[in-house]
Structure 1
Amino acid sequence: MTTPSATPSAERSRPAQRQTDIAEYVVSHGSVSATDLAEQFGVSLMTIHRDLDELERQGVVRKHRGGVSAQPSSVFESNVSYRMQASLAEKQALARRARELIEPGMAVMVDDSTSTLELARLLEGITPLTVVTNFLETVKLLAGRPGIRLLALGGEYHPTHDSFLGVPCIEAIEALRVDLLFASTSAVADGYAYHQEQEIVLVKRAMMRAAQRSVLMVDHTKLGRAALHRLAPLRDFELVLTDARAGQESLAEMREHGIRHEVVT
């Protein structure tokens, strides 16, 4: 006797598959109530809360009163899946301008941000070029590309960021000297760049020390926002790139602090 195949609703009832579906749903919607999720997936609120507890443990989402969000807060950085979808057109505009700063023969370091991932997509043709990164997505993108010498920074793998961090990563960075660093961060305010996680901050600071020049790529959603850890003064970057939707107050603040910046379209 042949066992009938599982129906879609039966598949969703399996915790692992349902949690994957919930994560995709939250990432695509940004923020959702627990009640909406229970209705969407046809399970009880208690079951949804258990699923959300597990997804929060994995760093995919953060729970708040009555619901869940994939969006960042001052102490929570979004999962890379959410960040890859957010402000994509603006990140692509930043990447096009950043590409103009790169010349063949350079050694370029890019961090584990989704902004610099868009830059990595544009590097083909600027060869020969050496690219250093700790971002697994960028490693996979550039591996085997003709004319690109790729140096992957090791360390402890963090699935929330899809990148390598920690002491081994920092030690690998400290052994290098590059021409240009392209980096991003999750918050900029009062003349400083900030990030929610100290491990990320320590790696980005090491990258800045290893670069002759550093460029910060921050779309308008990062401006005027707070995060727990101070990364560096904006004046430590040779150039700050932001997009045309940047608020006038944030731009005036950068001018007031004497920060060299460009608004790109």
Structure 2
Amino acid sequence: MTLPSSRGARQQRHQLIVDHVLARGDATVAELAELTGVSLMTVHRDIAELADRGILRKYHGGVSAQPSMVFESSSDFRLHAHADEKEVLARAALSFVAPGMSVMLDDSTTALALARLLPEVGPLTVVTNYRLITEELRGAEGIRLICVGGEYSRTHDSWIGLPAIDMISGVSVDLTVLSTSGMTAGMTFHQEQEIVSIKRAARQAGATSVLLMDHSKVGRRALHRLESVDSFDHVLLTGPVDEELLREMRELTDVRVIEVNEVNEAE
């Protein structure tokens, strides 16, 4: 598989390398060069960059996966993961938005997919700590944009920390839409405690909360507990979802499974 050398192709190559290493636990430089179709020197540069960002662990002759799952926090990598499912979830979530509402969006790439649809509904007030959402909506007519400030995180491409939490806690919105790293039948999770605090504050700021989760996040855990599933008013998932898990979740709150083909046909 040969990829061109543009910046976008480098990101695709990095994603390919990470996916390969995560699936197998480790990989040699020669193996990754064959996988990506680039030179050994290029692979060494890719590995050095990924190791510097804490996504992979470099050793002599190869790399292994970081147990911390830092890659899941990287905005760049999240943008390319399950993009079709995120668009489907965003389209389904749009039904909760009505003109005149105030909406808070977290720094998930699923919320970004929803942000791209919001100009269809305006006028709206949108509150967010995610830089990519502010870029998406800053020129949109009918959107009053409130940007949450704080400490800028290059990994998440968003503003976090105590100033961000204080600002989020100081507002009250009609609707909060967010996503996170994993969920079981009764609990949601995220791998980083500082992001847990931001998401908790965002969920609590909304009169109604909607959780959007693609199928890869369902039935899995991360290091920190976020909120119980029944803390969310609505949970939207893409399938397939284990039937027993789904039944248990539906005993706690409104859970809807959104089929990708179903939404595409509706459009």
Instruction: Give your verdict on TM over 0.5.
Output: yes
- Please tell me the residue identity of whatever aligns with 2:258: V
TM-score where L is the length of structure 2:
0.81
Task: Supply the distance in 2 between the matched residues of 1:74 and 1:179 (Cα, whole angstroms).
Answer: 35
SS in 1 for 2:226: strand
Following the alignment from structure 1 to structure 2, what is the Cα–Cα distance between the partners of residues 74 and 250?
26
Say if 1:242 and 1:73 are closer, same or farther in 2 by CA, change over 3 A: farther
SS at match of 2:119: coil
* Cα displacement (A) at 1:125: 2.5
Closer, same or farther: CA 74–262 of 1 in aligned 2, 3 Å: farther
What is the Cα deviation at residue 43 of structure 1?
Answer: 3.5
Unaligned residue ranges in structure 2 (runs of 5+): 22-26, 260-267
**Deviation digits for residues 16-54 of structure 1, max 9, x if unmatched?**
x99x97654121452242322356543379x83x86355
**Rg comparison, structure with higher value:** 1
CA–CA distance in structure 2, aligned partners of residues 199 and 57 of structure 1:
21
What residue is the counterpart of 1:212 in the other structure?
207
Amino acid at match of 1:258: L
Q: Which residue of 1 aligns with 2:263?
A: none
What do you get for the CA RMSD once the two structures are aligned? Answer: 2.7
The verdict on how the C-alpha distance between 1:148 and 1:192 changes in structure 2, with shifts beyond 3 A counting, is same
1:26 corresponding residue in structure 2:
14
More helix by share: 2
Higher mean C-alpha deviation, range 119-128 or range 21-30: 21-30
Choose which of 175, 178, 199 in structure 1 pairs with 2:194: 199
- Return 115-124 or 81-90, whichever deviates more: 81-90
The question of whether the paired residues in 2 share the 8 Å contact of 1:23 and 1:55 is answered with no
Partner of 2:231: 236
The residue type paired with residue 235 of structure 1 is D
State the distance in 2 between where 1:81 and 1:25 align: 12
| Structure 1 runs, 4 residues or longer, greater than 6 Å off | none
Structure-2 separation of matches of 1:182 and 1:203: 13
Structure 2 counterpart of 1:127: 122
Q: How far does residue 220 in structure 1 lie from its aligned partner after superposition?
A: 0.7
TM-score by length of 1: 0.82
Aligned partner of 1:67 in structure 2 is: 63
Name the structure 2 match of 1:155.
150
1:75: how far off?
4.5
Q: How has the CA–CA distance of structure 1 residues 78 and 31 changed in structure 2, closer, same or farther, with 3 Å as cutoff?
A: farther
Give the corresponding residue for 1:4. Answer: none
Instruction: Show the 5 A alignment for 1:239-258.
Output: 239-255=234-250, 257-258=251-252
